[in-house]
Structures are given as structure tokens and as C-alpha cells.
Structure 1
């Protein structure tokens, strides 16, 4: 199996029941997740040998995180113990035309206080084939900005394929802060996940005004690959929000100057949207690692994301065979 490494924070998620507000509820449901951890879980489900580099407190919540990761087959060799608290966020699930709302409580978390000298990157990247990190990690603290850059540089020194998901979060940092940091990271990135708004507001690319979304996206992606010729592929999704419980989703994959798109998937009824983007990113990475033809790759990644919308929690819980069956059989059929 191929060794994959991800770097990021895993948090405690506390969710209200659908139809309730946080200030109304008297009970919360617990899940554990985080962008890079979610990608790690998906890739482990897809049969890969995955390690998460992270830091959690040495208390019952840290133990619960470790057990959660191990239950999905994610290796915890590089899960460090230290600090005093596990980052937390509260999720108020949207209904109908009301959007979901996230409230973070992650300042001074164990992971955000991580220092560069706590990680032996030569050991981490020994025998590794792929390294994945997202823009959430450098947004958490000045030290994590340095660690993210250094980890990408070390990965390239070890000949490891690198993946970066912009994953811009306005509640964590400004567009200007994100732009200044991400531009220093992209020279060390092989696989990139970003959308049109990232291209415009983070990378400063002039806004396109062509006839179709596809032409606009090809324009942005061609500009990005000219700015950073090291980037081999770029991916994103087109999502139309009909309501909080009904969306359409289409995947985009750009490589060697060509744009490949999945069919448009109609997702109704959404059980839990959180982690859908991470499931998509994992599907892209799986396809690249397996040398899957581009059209098949984007269909698989989009199907993986659609399936994630049907289960509670941040993590995807589907195997390669289940995703392929979904692609081949279509939605809503009984599998006997």
C-alpha cells in the first residue's frame, strides 16, 4: 500500500438537532473531524496506508481522537500529545433556505500551539508517496504558517507528491493574509484544489467574463498553471444550493490543459454536508495515485462527495467498491 501523510487539526464537533438553534438546545451530538483528518479517513477507506500528523491533549478527548482515527485504519504514529485543549466547533444545521452556521472555539488548541521542532519530517516522509495539507492549517497560528511551508519543502526534498487544498475560511483569516501565505506555498505544490473565487481573491487573477462557467474555469486554471508551472492538476466543484437539504454537484478536474467534468449529481435529501469537500479531495488523490483516467477520476471523486452527504459526521464511510457501484448504478437504487 502507498504511504500517505496528512497534516492538520482534528477537532471535536458539537451539533444541534436539525430544526434547533444553538441557544435553544439542551443536547449536542459529538463527532470528530477536520479537513486533513477527513481526507485521511477517506483515503484509508480507499485502501491506502495513511498517517495523520497532528497534536491533541493528553486527556480523555485526546484518547477519543486516537481511537476514532484507529477505528478507520488511520495510523497515529505521528499523533503527538501535548497542550491543554482540543479545538472545538459548534454546528447549527441549516434547514430549507436557512444556511448552516459554524461557531469556532479553537483558539490556543493543542494543535495550534505546535512547534516546528516537535516533528521529525525526515522520519515522517520516509517511504511516503503523497503529502496533503490545506489552507486551514497555516491560518491557525504563525508557527503553523512556518510548519506548513517547511513541511511542503521537506516533502519535495524527499521526492513526495504534494497536495494543497485552499480551503479558505473567512472566520480564520482575511483574504489578504491568505493570499500572502498561500503564494509562498504554491511553488512546492503538485496537486491543487481551488475554485474561481480563490483564483480571483486569493491569487489576484483578473475576473473572467466568458460565455460559460466551463470557459471561465479553464481561463483561471490556465492562468494558475502559468503562474506556477509545477502544479500538475487542479480540481474544484460547481455546487448549486437549492436549499440546505437539496444541492446539485458537479466535479471539475484540470490537467495538461484539459478540463474534465463529471455529470451533475442531484443530492436530495442531505443528511450532513460537512466533509463533502474533503471526500471530493480524497477521491481526486485516490485517482491520481491509482493512475485512473481523468474522466473516470472526476466521476469517482464527485460520487464520493455525494455519498458523504448521506451520512452523519465529518468523515466519509465508503469504500472504493461502494463509490464505483454508485457511479455505475446511479442514486436511489436498492443494492441486493
Structure 2
């Protein structure tokens, strides 16, 4: 099986039941997840040999994380034990016109104290097909920013494809801080997940003309990003139309070789759990790149994977590649030149 490595924080998620405010709740549902862990779980479901790199406390919650990863086929060989606490976040489930809300409790987590000295990057990345991480990791501590850059450089040195998801979270840091941390990684990035707002506010690209359609604007931004970073071979994102907290429309975008490919628009009604939809999309794109799917089929697969994630509880996707392919159908995505 092909080896994939992801690096990031996995957290305990505590969710309210539908119709309850967090301030009202006296019972919460438990799940485990985090951006890079979710991508790893999905890729394991797709049949890859996935290794998750992180740090968790040596206590019952750390053991629960191990159980979660192992039960989903993810290797924990590089899961460091130590520190004082597992990061936690609270999800107030949305309904109707009321959006979901997230409250983080992750400062001073075990993962935020992870250092490069605790990892053998050469051994971790050796023979991997892809190394994936996100901007959330960069937001958590200076030592993680140092680790992330060294890991990206080592991956490139070893001939490993590198994948970076901007995944900007305003509750974790400012746009200025994010921009300063993200830009040094981009010269070492092969696969990038970013959208128009990332281009404008984190990379400082001039806004596209308002007369352009949203598809034309995204194509312009991707052209401009590739001018600055010609090493980036693939860029992907989604267009999401929120009709209500439980009723969304989703379309995928994938840019490669100077062309933007788009999936059909999925109408996802009666959403069970939106959290992790972007991570499922990212895992679908990575699957398509590793398996060398044609770009139209790749973006159809990735968007279908995200749409399916919305139908199950928890942060991570629970569908095999065969199930996603069946759901996506055989039609190729639309090409937009």
C-alpha cells in the first residue's frame, strides 16, 4: 500500500444535541478529530497506509485517541506521548438559520509543545507518497511553525509530494500572523488547498474585477498564485452555498495545468454533521492525485467524498473509495477554461 503521512493536532470534540445551546446543555456527545487526523482517517478508508504524526498526553484521553486512530486503520508509530492535556473544542450544533458555533479550549495542549527534536523526520517521511498538513498547526505555537517548515523541506528533499491546506481560523490568529507563517511554506508545496479569500487576505493578491463570475475570479486567483509559486502543481477549493445549517449546496474546484475543473453541484439537504467536510474533500483530492485520476474525475470524486461526509456523525469520513466512486457516478467534471 502507498504510504501517506499527516501531521497535526487531534482533539476531543464535545457536541450539543440539535436544538440546544451550549450554555443550556447538560449532556454532550464525544468524538475525536482534527484537520490532519480527519484527512488521515479518510485516506486510510480509501486503502492507503496512513501514518499520523502528533503528540497526546499519556492518560486515558491519549489512549482514546489511539483507539480512535487504530480503529480507523491509521498507524500511531509516530504518535508522541507527553504533555499535560488533549486539546478540546465544543460544537454548538446549528439548525435552520442558526449556524453551528465552535468554542476552542486548546491552549497549552500536548501537541502545541511538540518539537522537531522529538521526531525523526527522515524515518517518518521516508518512502511516503504524500505529506499533508494545514495552517491550523502553524497557528498553535512558534515551535510548530519551525517544525512544519523543516518537515516540508525534508519531504521535498526525499522526493515526497507535499500538501498544504490554508485552513485559516480567525479565532486562532490574525490574517497578518497567518500570512507571515504560511508564505515560507509555499515554495515547498506541491498541492495547495486555498480559495479566493486566502489569495486576497493572506497572500495579498489584488482583488479580481467585480464583473467576473465567481468561477472566473477563482481562475484568476489561481493563475496569480501560480505566477508567484510555480512549484504548486495543484490547487483546490469548494464553493458552498448555505441555504440553512442543514441544507447546503457544494461544488468542487481543481486547478492544474492552467485549467480549472469543476464538479457538479451537490445539493446536501438534511445535513447530519458538517464538521470535517473540507477534510473529506482534501482527502478526495489527494486520493485522485496519488491514483492519477483525470482531473475531471478527481474533482468529482473529491466533492462526492465531502458530500457523503455530511451524512455521518463525527469529524472523519467513513466511506471507502469504491463507495465514493459509486456515489459520484462515472461522469467527468466540467472543464472551465
What residue in structure 1 maps to residue 202 of structure 2? 202
Are residues 1:273 and 2:281 paired? no
Q: Deviations over 1:281-300 (max 9, x none)?
A: 00000000000000000000
What residue in structure 1 maps to residue 72 of structure 2? 72
Structure 1: distance between partners of 2:313 and 2:116: 34
Shift of 1:329: 8.7
What residue in structure 2 maps to residue 129 of structure 1? 129
Q: Deviations over 1:94-151 (max 9, x none)?
A: 1111111000000000000111200100110111111000000010001001011110
What residue in structure 1 maps to residue 285 of structure 2? 284
Do the aligned partners of residues 309 and 325 (structure 1) sit closer, same or farther apart at CA in structure 2, a change above 3 Å counting? same
What residue in structure 1 maps to residue 92 of structure 2? 92
Shift of 1:213: 1.0
Structure 1: distance between partners of 2:225 and 2:261: 17
Q: Deviations over 1:67-120 (max 9, x none)?
A: 100001000000010001000000001111111100000000000011120010
TM-score (norm 1): 0.97
Structure 2: distance between partners of 1:132 and 1:44: 14
Shift of 1:194: 0.2
- 2:280 is paired with a residue whose SS is helix
Structure 1: distance between partners of 2:330 and 2:145: 44
What residue in structure 1 maps to residue 102 of structure 2? 102
What residue in structure 2 maps to residue 334 of structure 1? none
Structure 1: distance between partners of 2:79 and 2:212: 48
Unaligned 5+ segments in structure 1 are 331-336
- 2:255 is paired with a residue whose SS is strand
Are residues 1:222 and 2:223 paired? yes
What residue in structure 2 maps to residue 162 of structure 1? 162
Please list every run of at least 4 consecutive aligned residues from structure 1 whose deviation after the TM superposition is greater than 3 angstroms: none
Shift of 1:211: 2.5
What residue in structure 1 maps to residue 233 of structure 2? 232
Structure 1: distance between partners of 2:238 and 2:76: 31
Structure 2: distance between partners of 1:264 and 1:309: 14
Q: Deviations over 1:131-184 (max 9, x none)?
A: 000000010001001011110001011110000000000011100000011111
Structure 1: distance between partners of 2:308 and 2:330: 13
Structure 2: distance between partners of 1:274 and 1:125: 28
Are residues 1:249 and 2:250 paired? yes
What residue in structure 1 maps to residue 2 of structure 2? 2
Are residues 1:15 and 2:15 paired? yes
What residue in structure 2 maps to residue 333 of structure 1? none
How many residue pairs end up in the alignment? 330
- 1:112 is paired with a residue whose SS is helix
Unaligned 5+ segments in structure 2 are 332-337
What residue in structure 1 maps to residue 335 of structure 2? none
Structure 1: distance between partners of 2:225 and 2:43: 27
Structure 2: distance between partners of 1:81 and 1:327: 40
Structure 2: distance between partners of 1:127 and 1:233: 21
Q: Deviations over 1:199-240 (max 9, x none)?
A: 000000000024211110110000000100000010000000
- 1:138 is paired with a residue whose SS is helix
Structure 2: distance between partners of 1:118 and 1:80: 8
Structure 2: distance between partners of 1:122 and 1:192: 23
Structure 2: distance between partners of 1:104 and 1:129: 32
Are residues 1:322 and 2:320 paired? no
TM-score (norm 2): 0.97
Structure 1: distance between partners of 2:317 and 2:117: 32
Structure 1: distance between partners of 2:212 and 2:25: 47
Q: Deviations over 1:17-72 (max 9, x none)?
A: 01100110110000000000000000000000000000000000000000100001
